[in-house]
Amino acid sequence: MNRLIIIGAGGHGKAIADNALKNGYTDIFFVDDKATGTVMGFSIIGTSNSVDELNDGNTDFIIGIG
């Protein structure tokens, strides 16, 4: 399954990550403009400004800002 990048590492993003796990995603990352580190064991790999450079054609993106 494709890599998933969730934009927003807050509560809504966490709910999306939980659902993504239940739907077979294993390669899950977050981008967030204010948070760093990890969320639920998944790395925050950049900010919203880095979305274009993270898009390798095999990546799914979803907005996780409620």
pLDDT higher than 80, residue 1: no
Span 2-38, pLDDT tens digits: 899 999 999 999 999 999 999 999 999 999 999 999 9
Give the span between the Cα atoms of 52 and 19, in whole angstroms.
24
Count, in order, helices (H) and strands (E) of the chain: 2, 5
Task: Provide the 8-state DSSP code for 33.
Answer: S
Give the span between the Cα atoms of 42 and 39, in whole angstroms.
5
